[in-house]
């Protein structure tokens, strides 16, 4: 198989993986296995694809952070603009302005609670929240320290993962 054919095959496999939501289906695995490359060539191709996708993921994360900051800035600008418009209506003593595209009006909102001093609030208005969670680190330490005393409902599991340097 020629180098460009290998690249084309892996691009097709990449597209199939993306279409399957990242799931390595039996069909995709068969295509990977059926390819006539040596194991070392396959691993190198997989590592290249891994590196490319990792770079894409970093770019996506950076872009999502940039867009998130843009969103926050726009929302702040909207709040400021609306507050300015409300002040203009209030200072002019006008309740409503109608234009060909919009109707802009002042509206009385329902009362809301503003907390000035939490310490002064009576206990009957406080809600106590209690959360519990499993400490997997404590379980692991206990099993390792006392292997003769199993903990019901858990076991240690050792897995392998792929490391690409």
Model confidence pLDDT, tens digit, residues 10-53: 788 888 888 888 888 888 888 777 665 566 777 788 888 888 88
Q: Is residue 147 part of a domain?
A: no
Q: Is residue 32 part of a domain?
A: yes
pLDDT on residue 81 = 95
Alpha carbon distance 144, 148 (integer Å):
9
Q: Is residue 119 part of a domain?
A: no
Please state, for a pLDDT cut of 70, what percent of the chain lies above it. Answer: 92
Q: Is residue 112 part of a domain?
A: no
Q: Is residue 162 part of a domain?
A: no
Q: Is residue 132 part of a domain?
A: no
pLDDT on residue 105 = 96
Q: Give the count of domains, the chain.
A: 1
Q: Compute the average pLDDT of residues 134-146.
A: 93
pTM of the shown model: 0.54
DSSP H/E element including 43: helix 39-92
Q: Is residue 36 part of a domain?
A: yes
Q: Which domain holds residue 58?
A: 3-107
Q: Is residue 41 part of a domain?
A: yes
Contact at 8 Å (CB) between 139 and 151? yes
């Amino acid at each position: 198989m020629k180098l460009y054919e290998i690249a084309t095959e892996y691009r097709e496999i990449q597209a199939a993986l993306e279409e399957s939501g990242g799931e390595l289906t039996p069909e995709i695995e068969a295509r990977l296995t059926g390819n006539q490359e040596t194991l070392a060539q396959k691993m190198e191709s997989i590592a290249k694809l891994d590196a490319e996708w990792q770079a894409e993921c970093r770019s996506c994360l950076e872009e999502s952070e940039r867009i998130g900051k843009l969103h926050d800035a726009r929302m702040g600008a909207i709040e400021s603009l609306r507050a300015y418009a409300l002040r203009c209506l209030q200072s002019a003593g006008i309740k409503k302005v109608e234009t060909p595209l919009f109707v802009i009006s002042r509206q009385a909102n329902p009362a809301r609670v503003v907390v000035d001093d939490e310490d002064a609030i009576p206990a009957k208005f406080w809600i106590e929240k209690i959360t519990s969670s499993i400490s997997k680190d404590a379980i692991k330490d206990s099993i390792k320290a006392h292997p003769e005393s199993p903990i019901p409902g858990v076991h240690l599991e050792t897995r392998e993962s792929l490391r690409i340097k």
